[in-house]
Amino acid sequence: MLESSTTVNIAFKPAIDPPPFRSRFVVDDSKAYLDGNSLGRLPKRTKDLLQQVIAQQWGEDLISGWNAHWLSMPRRVGNKIGQLIGAHAGETIVSDSTSVNLFKLASALLQQSGDRVKIITDRANFPSDLYVLAGCGESGSRELEFELMDLETCGFEAMSRCVCEAIDDATALVSLSHVHYKSGFAYDIESITRAAHQRGARVLWDLSHSVGVLPMQLSAWNVDAVVGCTYKYLNGGPGAPAFLYLRSDLHALLNNPIRGWFGAKNPFSFSMDYTPSPEIERFLVGTPPILSLAAIEPGVDLVLEAGIEHLRERSIQLSSEFIALVSDRLLALGFSIQSPLDAAMRGSHVSLGHPHAWQITQDLIQRFSVIPDFRAPGTIRFGFAPIYTTRDELHRAIQAMEASIQSQSYLNFPADIRGVT
């Protein structure tokens, strides 16, 4: 963590504004929106598409909509997400929430892990991931142990290596978030996956904070399984269904612990015996939420059109400029940088610490129309969605933090933490 006593020199190349795809989103320029890592903006196409899906597909086609449009959607949209993460066609599907997908895949992988007893994860992993993994540990047939990686002990530079060294012959599963939701630290998927496989363990990654902003090659890296959400950098809308990927050679080997009819080989045979689909559909459960699912596709299309390599370049430009400005102007005002300074180890958000983080966040939102988010106990996160975030927005955030501290206007807000930011 970088505190005020430290000086830092961050070289950056300024991003070119405005990003060409910004005009494809609904944007209110009076707000500096730096929370696309939590909820992405609304693509203009999504508004039109949903009206059409509702009026025509639901309103007119009614039940025939299933055959005409809807049954193929989880796989079709999944395949598009698959292109973003370097998966082969037929390995990625949209379904349920990230937490539910994590449960399905973790349970299935653990079921096939023989007498191995260890799950490696991150002590500070997203809480839902830790809850789900702990639940899998309790509900299986054997008692499982957890090895919790700790940033405080390892530090950003050594974190991926610490994980590799922790993997041993007792390890069943390594399950981590690719990009950590608070610090923005990005684990090295490739080397950890290789280390796990050398010891006969499986990996299950949560890509919620990296899909749509970090290039990756899951097939080339031989990754076993991933989950991820679509409402952040994929701009799929609030509560949009999540996705899961499973390498094709594992499809027939792993069993979905939630046996729903959409995971069956022939759901519409209404057979009393459950025969799982031999393909990725076996990890579906129930009827897909078609309106939310339809809302995902335009956002994914935009990311594909913009190109993940271009987006990564712009993301690094934005986050590096932000860090440079913070170190020049905000460290002396009591802020600290809680994210890696090295862009290669960073996702697309930057976290700042401050003893009055909650009140400052409220001041930024309500007085300056600058929208970051707050994560307890003392972190303000700034997300740079390279497809639409501008340099002007990040400059406004810096100015607002300076003004808030210098005028002490943040003290107008109560210190007790309430509601969602």
Ligand X SMILES: Cc1ncc(COP(=O)(O)O)c(C=O)c1O
Q: Please, which residue, 119 or 331, has the CB nearer to ligand X? A: 119
- Applying CB under 6 A, does 388 fall inside the site for ligand X? no
- Applying CB under 6 A, does 206 fall inside the site for ligand X? yes
- Please say if 233 is a catalytic residue: no
- Applying CB under 6 A, does 354 fall inside the site for ligand X? no
To ligand X, the closest distance from the beta carbon of 74 in angstroms equals 15
158 to 187: interface string for ligand X, x by CB under 6 A: -------------------x---x------
Stretch that binds ligand X, among 113-121, 157-165, 203-211, 265-273 (CB under 6 A): 203-211
Q: Which of 57, 79, 92, 98 binds ligand X (CB under 6 A)?
A: 98
How far is residue 393 from each of residues 29, 141, 382, measured CA to CA in Å? Answer: 9, 52, 10
The number of helices, as runs of H, and strands, as runs of E, in the chain is 11, 13
- Applying CB under 6 A, does 35 fall inside the site for ligand X? no
Q: Please, which residue, 181 or 221, has the CB nearer to ligand X? A: 181
- Please say if 103 is a catalytic residue: no
DSSP state of 295: H
Applying CB under 6 A, the site for ligand X has a residue count of: 13
Amino acid type, 290 = I
Q: Tokens 């990625």, residue?
A: 92
- Please say if 381 is a catalytic residue: yes
Q: Please, which residue, 181 or 283, has the CB nearer to ligand X? A: 181
Q: Please, which residue, 98 or 320, has the CB nearer to ligand X? A: 98
Rounded to whole angstroms, how far apart are CA atoms 102 and 177? 11
- Determine which one of 104, 202, 232, 282 is catalytic: 232
- Applying CB under 6 A, does 210 fall inside the site for ligand X? no
- Cα dihedral across residues 301, 278, 283, 166: positive or negative: negative
Q: What length does the chain have?
A: 421
- Determine which one of 126, 187, 283, 368 is catalytic: 126
- The string of DSSP letters for 121-137 reads EETTS-HHHHHHHHHHH
Q: In the Cβ-directed half-sphere of 181, how many Cα atoms lie within 13 Å?
A: 22
Largest CA distance in the chain: 69
Q: Which of 46, 99, 175, 317 binds ligand X (CB under 6 A)?
A: 99
To ligand X, the closest distance from the beta carbon of 150 in angstroms equals 18
Count of other CB atoms within 10 angstroms of residue 268: 10
123 to 152: interface string for ligand X, x by CB under 6 A: ---x-xx-----------------------
Q: Which of 208, 351, 361, 404 binds ligand X (CB under 6 A)?
A: 208
Give Cα 199 distance to the centre of its chain.
27
- Determine which one of 122, 206, 224, 363 is catalytic: 206
- Applying CB under 6 A, does 242 fall inside the site for ligand X? yes
To ligand X, the closest distance from the beta carbon of 155 in angstroms equals 21
Give Cα 349 distance to the centre of its chain.
11
60 burial level (CB within 10 Å; 0-12, 13-18, 19+): exposed
- Determine which one of 104, 182, 346, 381 is catalytic: 381
- Determine which one of 25, 156, 231, 233 is catalytic: 231
Q: Please, which residue, 200 or 239, has the CB nearer to ligand X? A: 239
Q: Please, which residue, 178 or 356, has the CB nearer to ligand X? A: 178
How far is residue 23 from each of residues 56, 97, 174, 211, 298, measured CA to CA in Å? Answer: 27, 29, 40, 22, 14
Q: Please, which residue, 175 or 389, has the CB nearer to ligand X? A: 175
- Applying CB under 6 A, does 209 fall inside the site for ligand X? yes
Residues 171/49, Cβ–Cβ less than 8 Å: no
- Applying CB under 6 A, does 97 fall inside the site for ligand X? yes
To ligand X, the closest distance from the beta carbon of 321 in angstroms equals 25
Rounded to whole angstroms, how far apart are CA atoms 15 and 308? 15
Name beta bridge partners: 204: 175, 225
Give the 3-state secondary structure percentages of the chain, helix then strand then coil, rounded to 5: 45, 15, 40
Question: What does DSSP say about strands 379-383 and 373-375: parallel, antiparallel, or unpaired?
Answer: antiparallel
Rounded to whole angstroms, how far apart are CA atoms 48 and 266? 33
Which residues are marked as active site?
126, 206, 231-232, 381
Residues in touch with ligand X (CB under 6 A): 97-99, 126, 128-129, 177, 181, 206, 208-209, 229, 242
